[in-house]
Amino acid sequence: MMTIARPVCARHTFRAGADMKKVTLNIDGSDVVADEGMSVLEAALQNNIYIPHLCYCPDLPPRGACRLCIVELGDGQLVTSCRTPVEPGMVVKTKSPEVDRAVRPVVELLVADYHASCRGCPSSGHCELQRIMAHLRIDRRRVRRLRPPEDEKPLDTSNPCFDYDPNKCVLCGICVHTCEEIHGTGSLYFIGRGYDTRIAFFGDASRCESCMECVARCPVGVLLPKAQSQQ
Amino acid sequence: MEELQEERVRQILSSYESEPGRLVPILLDVQTSIGYLPEEGVQMVARFLNIGVGQIYSVASFYSRFQLTPVGRHRVTVCRGTACHIRGAPQILGEIEKGVGLKEGETSSDLEYTLETVACIGCCALAPCIKINADVHGELTPRRVKEVLLSLGGGETDA
Amino acid sequence: MPDKQRTVLVCQGTGCISGGAERLYSALEAEMARLNLGELAWMKYTGCHGFCQRGPLVVIEPDGIFYSKVKLDDVPDIVQSLLPGGRTVERLLYHDSVIDRPIFHYRDIPFYYKQQRLVLRNCGNINPEDIGDYLAAGGYQALPGALAGMTPERIIDEVERSGLRGLGGAGFPTGRKWDACRRAPGDEKYVICNGDEGDPGAFQDRSVLEGDPHSVLEGMIIAGYAVGANRGFVYVRAEYPLAIRRLGVAITQARERGYLGRNILGSGFDFDVEIFQGAGAFVCGESTAMVLSIEGRRGMPKPLPRPRTTEAGLWGKPTLLNNIKTFANIPLIINRGAGWFASRGTENSKGTAIFSLTGKVVNSGLIEVPMGIRLREIVYDIGGGIPDGRAFKAVQTGGPSGGCLPVELVNMPVDFDSLTAAGSMMGSGGMVVMDQDTCMVDVARYFLDFTRRESCGQCMPCRVGTKQMFDILDSITKREGKPGDIELLEELGTAVARTSLCGLGQTAANPVLSTIRYFREEYEAHIYDDYCPAGVCQAYL
């Protein structure tokens, strides 16, 4: 099985746990210890239990946008683990028939949407979606039932330091929020609505300070430093 | 942007307070006054509200009503509502596409016509309906459509 | 003003106006002046009378004589009929196809007599641009009664006991929502009236605003008093210019009379309202998205868990959000009491439902019926059945979030819970009748086309899922369906419903799943038998 190097966001740095109150919960049959105030997702990841996620980044508030981190609680409820705080005695299932019925088709939809093949992609090997596909053992025969997307949009080369591939973008929003909340410039925006939404500078390119934080955090590597994307 | 248009935008801005909550009403006023949102107009609004131009485009591009490119003198809007669909709106759209030589979302190069669709005009009992600028035309048939277009002064463009 | 004998009411709703009602009004006015009718009759223009298909409409009161499909050429005859010895213009009367006799009085027309027009009580009877008319019809009596004689808790109790449920779509108990907003801590609260009405095929909110805007204002002011809010917004989609204009006139007049503004009727309570125009996004009918759009942002709904809008809504303050029709019910409940209201409807769905009845039906228009009425009564008794002798196939309710009810369900009661149990929902009241010439696969494709265009794009299942479901349905209608597509649609639909962030995505699959549930054989005919049973899909003809 190939080792996939994770992008920056996946290198989790959790809050120092020493003097925080501890909470014990049960994930997939095992008791794990977490800090009070952590999300179920964070508690799982910290204990080396993987839950698929694309829009989560440890130093940004969880947005619950990708819906892939859905887990099943003891009462059968399906919730996004990134926005569910841990509670003592909680019972969580990350892999159940219900979770699979809910999440697998969504991942298959993403794969069918411009990710049908990883061949030739400059980010292959550094991609969270690949990790999710391996974790769920996505069957490409099932993916081929879906209708492929129609036209390919051209690469956006307008920024001096990096290029943006709008086709493979999963619109997780990490770059937009990084620019706005962490770097503070706020010059990357969502443009449009629905399926045709894209990321762009749209007139504020002069505000970009080339810190490359967005590039470092993109979970699927569609923001590429100029040198790399031209391979 | 022409000087007259610039003046109109200035007038619009002078009637508002500089608050972020006023963005959508301001843009709607500019849109109504000029017919679309010209780039210089957006820049003026950005300066007035002290927000980035990109943020305005981010908001404007989310809402269907905002046009970022100039519109034609006759803005033909075909209703895509349920009742209109059941009563033959796709055929009406087809007739109009032939009549003005445009596809949905396009504006003719002489800026005479813009063709667009909208989710629902709200005249469902008179389906199928279209709007030409502010006028609603209901209970259309392909033949009535031809008549309506002719009455605008030239149903066919030279496209 | 001297007592005139008759009133000539000319409908000036958007529908009738598109049929020439404005010119008709001017012509009638001119002719009446020419013949010096002064003492015998006077004119009034009104909002939507509901029977839009038969417009332009002219009603002569107090007789209730109903003239439909009136043209300019008919003006002299109508004016003649108002003179002493004048005769009713029979050719303009409504002709019932079953009885085959002209009906003089609109109250005898089945379209009307089976209705219970409460929310629509004034639509078609008053001049919406004259507050005096609203007052003469009993308006602005609930408000002084509430301000002077009831505490906020008492008002909320009355609304709760009435059993009123929100008429915007979800049917949440209104009194409970008001109570939650009242209890929320904070001095600054807001009331928002949802007039976004994005459902294609629904026009009730438009009609109420065009025909009786004060009923909504009165409801909002009472709500503001009950929950402790001093500012309100009426969110109206920009596609409704006439409704916006009439509402603006109503607000001005209400302010002039002291029903809006500071120290209303000497009560010490301040409340004022402004209009906010929606800029074209169906998703903004969702409460958190509506709040975001008023704040000048992209209307992308907020995920759970999140504070309730009643606790933290507009600008983070407690906000009460209700639909136009819900507010229009409030003056009635305060005037007549919870018991009166709760005596109508069913156990769990009190009061009335307002539907835009459209599609393949003889009498198309706006109707208001008691909750629990049988679907059959709506389609046949009020709607007049299917035109041209075609066969009834299904009724779609709830717009793009709803589902189809096939002929087997024609005897079902129509209320919130029955509709949900059948795989559809009340939604905001669109009711589209379909006949044998309607292709149900095309219907599902149509609704998914709407939903995928309106998806905000924030969450992955809805953004990519609605597009994919549309693509599959589109290809089936274009003779490119593949074996396994029906099962695939069921799988995707269920996943999108379970994982989507907001109601738009969660209900997006309803039209597909319900048409597959009741009309699977039509899907199979397209995919396996290579034909479209309804004869609609062009690629098969």
A51-to-A47, A131, A133 alpha-carbon distances in Å? 11, 10, 12
Instruction: Identify which has the larger pLDDT, B142 or C474.
Output: C474
Per-residue pLDDT at C1 exceeds 80: no
Nearest one of C128, C5, C141 to C62, comparing CA atoms: C5
SS3 A194: helix
- Number of Cβ within 10 Å of residue C484's Cβ equals 11
| C140-182 tens-digit pLDDT | 999 999 999 999 999 999 999 999 999 988 899 999 999 999 9
| C508-524 tens-digit pLDDT | 999 999 999 999 999 99
- Residues of A within 8 A of C509 (CB-CB) are none
C462 is written with which tokens? 């809805």
Prediction pTM value: 0.91
CA dist A131 and C220 (Å) reads 53
Fold of B74-151: Glutaredoxin (3.40.30)
- Is-same-fold flag (C131-342; C352-435)? no
Is B68 touching A (CB cutoff 8 A)? no
- Residues of C within 8 A of B137 (CB-CB) are 18
Is B51 touching A (CB cutoff 8 A)? no
Instruction: Report the DSSP pairing between strands C6-11 and C41-46.
Output: parallel
C502-to-C116, C200, C286, C463 alpha-carbon distances in Å? 34, 19, 8, 12
**Structural element, H or E, at residue A131:** helix A128-136
CA dist C350 and C352 (Å) reads 7
SS3 A91: strand
SS3 A15: coil
Q: What are phi and psi of C150, to 5 degrees?
A: -130, 145
- CB pair distance less than 8 Å for B52 and A204: yes
Sequential DSSP letters for A142-165: HHTTSPPP--PPPPB--SSSEEE-
Is C396 touching B (CB cutoff 8 A)? yes
- CB pair distance less than 8 Å for C457 and A106: no
Q: What is the residue-averaged pLDDT of chain C? A: 93
- CB pair distance less than 8 Å for C468 and A145: no
Pair C156, C226: CB distance under 8 Å: yes
- CB pair distance less than 8 Å for A202 and B62: no
Closest CA–CA distance from residue C332 to any residue of chain A (Å): 40
Domain limits of chain C?
6-112, 131-342, 352-435, 440-540
- Domain C440-540 in this protein, CATH class: mainly alpha
Is C391 touching A (CB cutoff 8 A)? no
pLDDT band with cut points at 50, 70 and 90 for residue A8: very low
Per-residue pLDDT at C104 exceeds 70: yes
Query: How many interchain CB pairs under 8 A, A with C?
Result: 107
Instruction: Report the DSSP pairing between strands A223-225 and A162-164.
Output: antiparallel
Q: What is the pLDDT of residue C107?
A: 83
Q: What is C352-435's CATH number, 3.10.20.600, 1.10.760.10, 3.40.50.970, 3.30.43.10? A: 3.10.20.600
Q: What are phi and psi of C261, to 5 degrees?
A: 120, -150
Is C52 touching B (CB cutoff 8 A)? yes
- CB pair distance less than 8 Å for A189 and B58: yes
| C367-418 tens-digit pLDDT | 999 999 999 999 999 999 999 999 999 999 998 999 999 999 999 999 999 9
Percent of chain B with pLDDT over 70: 95
Nearest one of A5, A77, A81, A93 to A39, comparing CA atoms: A81
The tokens 């005898």 sit on which residue?
C108
Q: What is the pLDDT of residue C3?
A: 52
Q: What are phi and psi of C469, to 5 degrees?
A: -60, -40
CATH architecture of C6-112: 3-Layer(aba) Sandwich (3.40)
- Residues of B within 8 A of A204 (CB-CB) are 52-54
Per-residue pLDDT at B155 exceeds 80: no
SS3 B157: coil
Average pLDDT for residues A145-157, to the nearest whole number? 92
CA dist C457 and A179 (Å) reads 20
Least confidently predicted of A79-93, A206-220, C95-109? C95-109
Pair A175, A217: CB distance under 8 Å: yes
* Whole-angstrom Cα Rg for chain B: 18
| Partners of B74 in beta bridges | B113
Is C203 touching B (CB cutoff 8 A)? yes
Q: What is the pLDDT of residue A202?
A: 60
Q: What is the pLDDT of residue A15?
A: 52
Q: Which chain B residue lies closest to C357 (C-alpha atoms)?
A: B125
CA dist C34 and C11 (Å) reads 22
CA dist A150 and A141 (Å) reads 20
Per-residue pLDDT at B156 exceeds 70: no
Nearest one of C18, C322, C323 to C177, comparing CA atoms: C322
Q: What are phi and psi of C99, to 5 degrees?
A: -75, -25
| A26-72 tens-digit pLDDT | 999 999 999 999 999 999 999 999 999 999 999 899 999 999 999 99
| C319-351 tens-digit pLDDT | 999 999 999 999 999 999 999 999 999 999 999
- CB pair distance less than 8 Å for B52 and A187: yes
Segments of C47-142 assigned E as strands: 58-61, 65-67, 94-96, 101-103
- Residues of C within 8 A of A84 (CB-CB) are 305
Q: What is the pLDDT of residue A170?
A: 97
Q: What is C131-342's CATH number, 3.40.50.300, 3.40.50.11540, 3.40.50.1100, 3.40.50.1970? A: 3.40.50.11540
Q: What is the residue-averaged pLDDT of chain B? A: 88
C247-to-B157, C233, C256, C428 alpha-carbon distances in Å? 39, 12, 14, 20
Least confidently predicted of A192-196, B104-108, C196-200, C217-221? C196-200
Percent of chain A with pLDDT over 70: 88
Closest CA–CA distance from residue C13 to any residue of chain B (Å): 10
Closest CA–CA distance from residue B37 to any residue of chain A (Å): 14
Q: What is the pLDDT of residue C97?
A: 67
CA dist A206 and C413 (Å) reads 62
Closest CA–CA distance from residue B42 to any residue of chain C (Å): 14
- CB pair distance less than 8 Å for B24 and C293: yes
Closest CA–CA distance from residue C177 to any residue of chain A (Å): 24
Closest CA–CA distance from residue B91 to any residue of chain C (Å): 11
Q: What is the pLDDT of residue B85?
A: 84
CA dist B31 and C399 (Å) reads 29
| Partners of A172 in beta bridges | none
Q: What is the pLDDT of residue C169?
A: 83
CA dist C225 and C240 (Å) reads 28
Is C255 touching B (CB cutoff 8 A)? no
Q: What is the pLDDT of residue A230?
A: 57
Segments of C295-390 assigned E as strands: 319-323, 352-359, 365-370
Per-residue pLDDT at B94 exceeds 80: yes
pLDDT band with cut points at 50, 70 and 90 for residue A7: very low
Q: What are phi and psi of C92, to 5 degrees?
A: -90, -5
- CB pair distance less than 8 Å for B58 and A193: no
CA dist C143 and C134 (Å) reads 13
C528 is written with which tokens? 């396996």
Segments of chain A assigned E as strands: 22-27, 30-35, 70-73, 78-80, 91-93, 162-164, 189-191, 198-200, 223-225
- CB pair distance less than 8 Å for C303 and A194: no
Domain limits of chain B?
3-62, 74-151
C467-to-A196, C478, C505 alpha-carbon distances in Å? 10, 16, 11
Question: Which of B45, B58, B62 should be substituted to probe chain A, the one whose Cβ sees the most A Cβ atoms within 10 Å?
Answer: B58
SS3 C256: helix
Percent of chain B with pLDDT over 90: 51
CA B29 distance to own-chain centroid: 13
CA C241 distance to own-chain centroid: 16
**B46-60 residues labelled b (16+ CB within 10 A) or e (exposed):** bebbebbbbbbbbbb
Instruction: Report the DSSP pairing between strands C190-195 and C231-237.
Output: parallel
Sequential DSSP letters for C152-212: HHHHHHHHHHHT-B-TTTT--BHHHHHHHHHHS--S--EEEEEE---STT--HHHHHHHH-
Closest CA–CA distance from residue B57 to any residue of chain A (Å): 7
Per-residue pLDDT at C528 exceeds 90: yes
Q: What is the pLDDT of residue A18?
A: 58
